[in-house]
Amino acid sequence: MRHILVRILRAAARHPLALIVAGGAAGAGLAHLAWAGEVEFDGAVFSILSWLLLIAAIAVAERTFGSWRTAMIGSLATVVGVVVAWALLSAGAALGEPLSQEALRYQGWTPSVTSAALLVAVTGRLRPASRRSVRWAVGTAVVAILLISGHASDVARGIAALAGMAAGAVGRGALPGGSLRPSGRTQWRNVLASTLAVVACAVATASVTPNATGVLAWAGAAIDPGLAPATALLLVIGAALIVSGRSIGLLIGGGTLIAVAAVVATDLVIVPMISGELVWTGSAGADIEWQLLAIVSGAAPALAAVVLIIGARTVLRRPAAEPSGLDREHLVHVLGEHGDGAFAHMATWQGNSLWFGPDGSAVAYRVRDGVAFTVGDPIAERPAEIVHAFAGFCDERGWTAAFYSVHDETATALDRAGWVRTPVGTEAVVSTADFSLSGKRRQDLRTAVNRAGREGLSAVWTTYEDLTRETRAQVDALCAAWASEKRLPEMGFTLGGLPEMADPAVRLMLAVAPDGHVHAVTSWLPRRRGGRVVGWTLDVMRRSHAAMPGAIEFAIVCVIRRMAEEGIATVSLSGTPLAAHGGTTPGALSRRLMRWVEPAYGFASLERFKAKFGGSPEPLWMCYPQPIQAGRIARALVRVYVPDLRMRAVVGALRGSS
């Protein structure tokens, strides 16, 4: 109890302004004061919700700006919004404009006027992608309420939000620069989603806004109150799916919108015209404005449906293309010149798509659930310089780019562009010149090498196609047995198997007994620069059930020693997924993946195994546009690694590990 009280007091100390407003609102009896009404909604519950939103907005702003600056921004933006709105509406009313006259009958301030200003101001401290998303959401809500209610406070809310945007940008300090701008396709998706959201608001609020005089007020009132909640929900679901690039959103949202358009047009335009209730009575003054308002209200959902149809093609995701023969030939050339990255050779694996930059650079990627995961860093002279171009390529096709298992250079470039980076593992790099078996930490390696010498094991450096028929059968059996023992399907993507081992460019290091029995097999991917091999990356490790203890350690030590003799400076033991970086803790996305796959695949034990060789850990990152996408990307990443994964298998694996 004392601990909880201390936390409450600390929170109050950090947010004094929010605490003052909360106390004042409660003390004034906010639910019963007419001046506290929110867009003249029926019932006290909406007033309570509007004040809660204001308190939350103040608390968020205080955490961002501090109490003094929050008070200044909130006060000034609110005053600007209310005064400018009053001036504009007064001018319109003086000229005899009926909507302005009607709007001035209602109060010029409600709690959400200040809330909108503060929420938009806070976006000045967000990463660019998150900033655009929050501003889009707040802007859509502001426009929707203005079109539905049409009161003075609704005009003030929009102006206050613009003032808050300007105030939040002043003196915001160093923020990530070089933001990757959204493509026209993304902007169109946002427009379509906003259109559905605005109509959904009109349908949902019509029955609780009897005093609304906005353009969409009559349109919303035409929907049966009993069907309004379900109709609005379908429109919101459609909008959310469209934003994420799901074509099913067009069917759900578009179908519902067309039904709403038909009902509204029939109720407000067609039937009144046939019955004589809607008659053109003049072309001047207030008469024409109210007549046009009735027609526009009836036609608005139909116009929204037309907009949705026009922009429908921008929602559809384009499928990832299969690489052609020319693509693969060009990739081989790029790899020969710039393929010295740890995962560069993985670009050649089946299942990858390829993108080539204007400078001849290449990116291998896989698309799953609308997320395009790169296979490590871009293959280029300067990888960080082409991330913008590839991200734009993905955006044009309706995908979210996720640069996966990239090193510091690429991650830093994306960080400057305002993207999120989260740790997803480490790469262990062994210096062949400095490698030694001496010391306590290398005891296991010394034991493995000494025992291999006593038992006569030999290290065979070869390729899969050069194996004898008998040896190849043993290697195949080792791989098959390893996969069959897993409680979950074998992983792919950046983890190779037997098909990848058969590549003629890939080398194998076998631990073979005098009688020809294969104790262990490891495979190594080439790393090239300037047309020559400059390193090797460990991929597959398999051992037989009857293998000598330490057989794999023996094979890896032999590779390191061989590379030292050949003048190869480093050997990579590849990445260890989900391993924490030095001085950091796994991010939220990595923790989710750990819970899902660690019990079955044992990445923690893999990390301990690689630590035996004393490699230098290099951090691996995943970079993506904004934090809100983490959950969706985590699910897609699991599926790109294990496409055939089923929830029943996951549950069984988790039970088996407990």
What domains can you pick out in the chain, each with its CATH number?
1-171 (no CATH), 429-577+602-618 (3.40.630.30)
pLDDT digits (tens, 9 = 90+) for 165-180: 888 877 554 444 445 5
User: Residue 494's closest CA among 387, 640, 320?
Assistant: 640
Confidence of residue 81 (pLDDT cuts 50, 70, 90): very high
CA distance 548 to 550: 6
pLDDT digits (tens, 9 = 90+) for 613-638: 888 888 999 999 888 788 888 888 88
State the amino acid at position 156 in one-letter form: A
pLDDT digits (tens, 9 = 90+) for 188-244: 788 888 888 888 888 887 766 767 777 787 777 778 878 888 888 888 888 888 877
Up-side HSE of residue 199: CA atoms within 13 Å toward CB? 35
> What are the CA-CA distances from residue 379 to residues 218, 310, 334, 386 (Å)?
58, 38, 7, 10
> What are the CA-CA distances from residue 377 to residues 322, 372, 387 (Å)?
20, 13, 9
State the amino acid at position 524 in one-letter form: W
More confident: 15 or 394: 394
pLDDT of residue 13: 45
- Check pLDDT > 80 for residue 567: yes
Q: What percent of the chain has pLDDT over 70?
A: 79
Q: What is the mean pLDDT of residues 503-532?
A: 92
Which of 181-195, 371-385, 425-439 shows the lowest mean pLDDT across its residues? 181-195
CA distance 388 to 516: 52
Element (H, E) at 413: helix 408-416
pLDDT of residue 595: 54
Up-side HSE of residue 228: CA atoms within 13 Å toward CB? 18
- Check pLDDT > 60 for residue 41: no
Residue with tokens 């000598």: 548
Q: Identify any residues that bridge with 538 across adjacent strands, giving them in sequence order.
A: 524
Backbone angles phi, psi at 354, to 5 degrees: -125, 140
| Angle 232-237-240 from CA coordinates, rounded to 5° | 125
- Check pLDDT > 80 for residue 16: no
Q: Identify any residues that bridge with 522 across adjacent strands, giving them in sequence order.
A: 509, 541
> What are the CA-CA distances from residue 27 to residues 22, 24, 32, 39, 67 (Å)?
9, 5, 11, 22, 21
Confidence of residue 132 (pLDDT cuts 50, 70, 90): confident
State the amino acid at position 258 in one-letter form: I
At 619 the three-state DSSP class reads strand
At 82 the three-state DSSP class reads helix
pLDDT of residue 83: 94
CA distance 636 to 600: 18
At 493 the three-state DSSP class reads coil
User: Residue 334's closest CA among 365, 356, 352?
Assistant: 356
Six token digits for residue 291: 């007549």
Burial class (CB within 10 angstroms; exposed 0-12, middle 13-18, buried 19+) of 588: exposed
Long-range contacts of 233-239 (CB under 8 A, 24+ apart): 233/200, 235/196, 235/197, 235/199, 235/200, 235/203, 235/260, 236/196, 236/197, 236/200, 238/196, 239/192, 239/193, 239/194, 239/196, 239/197, 239/200
CA torsion sign, 395 to 400 to 405 to 408? positive
Classify residue 538 by its DSSP letter: E
Which of 7-21, 310-324, 327-341 shows the lowest mean pLDDT across its residues? 7-21
Quick check: 100 and 213 in contact, CB under 8 A?
Answer: no
| Angle 493-494-500 from CA coordinates, rounded to 5° | 85
More confident: 34 or 584: 584
Quick check: 511 and 518 in contact, CB under 8 A?
Answer: yes
Q: What is the mean pLDDT of residues 60-72?
A: 86
Element (H, E) at 553: helix 551-566
Q: Identify any residues that bridge with 402 across adjacent strands, giving them in sequence order.
A: 373
Confidence of residue 145 (pLDDT cuts 50, 70, 90): confident
Torsion of the alpha carbons at 143, 148, 150 and 156, rounded to the nearest 10? -30
CA torsion sign, 631 to 633 to 634 to 635? positive
Burial class (CB within 10 angstroms; exposed 0-12, middle 13-18, buried 19+) of 268: buried
CA distance 197 to 189: 12
pLDDT of residue 485: 62
pLDDT of residue 150: 84
State the amino acid at position 127 in one-letter form: R
- Check pLDDT > 70 for residue 95: yes
CA distance 18 to 582: 39
At 544 the three-state DSSP class reads coil
Quick check: 350 and 315 in contact, CB under 8 A?
Answer: no
Q: What is the pTM of this model?
A: 0.75
CA distance 274 to 265: 12
pLDDT of residue 146: 86
pLDDT of residue 639: 84
Which of 227-231, 426-430, 548-552 shows the lowest mean pLDDT across its residues? 227-231
Residue 554 CA from chain centroid, whole number: 42
Confidence of residue 486 (pLDDT cuts 50, 70, 90): low
pLDDT of residue 602: 53
**H-state helical runs in 184-227:** 184-205, 217-221
Quick check: 250 and 315 in contact, CB under 8 A?
Answer: yes
CA distance 133 to 634: 20
pLDDT of residue 323: 87
- Check pLDDT > 70 for residue 124: yes
pLDDT of residue 136: 85
CA distance 383 to 551: 37
pLDDT of residue 182: 64
Backbone angles phi, psi at 366, to 5 degrees: -135, 140
515-536: burial string, b at 16+ Cβ within 10 Å, e else: eeebbbbbbbbbbbbeeebebb
Element (H, E) at 221: helix 217-221
pLDDT digits (tens, 9 = 90+) for 581-594: 554 555 555 555 55
Quick check: 529 and 338 in contact, CB under 8 A?
Answer: yes
pLDDT digits (tens, 9 = 90+) for 342-368: 899 999 999 899 999 888 899 999 998
- Check pLDDT > 70 for residue 599: no
Confidence of residue 99 (pLDDT cuts 50, 70, 90): confident
Quick check: 61 and 122 in contact, CB under 8 A?
Answer: yes
CA distance 197 to 551: 62
Six token digits for residue 84: 């400018």
CA distance 621 to 315: 29
**H-state helical runs in 252-324:** 255-265, 271-275, 285-310
Per the prediction, the chain carries an average pLDDT of: 80
Q: Where are the beta strands (DSSP E) in 357-475?
A: 362-368, 371-374, 400-406, 420-431, 458-462
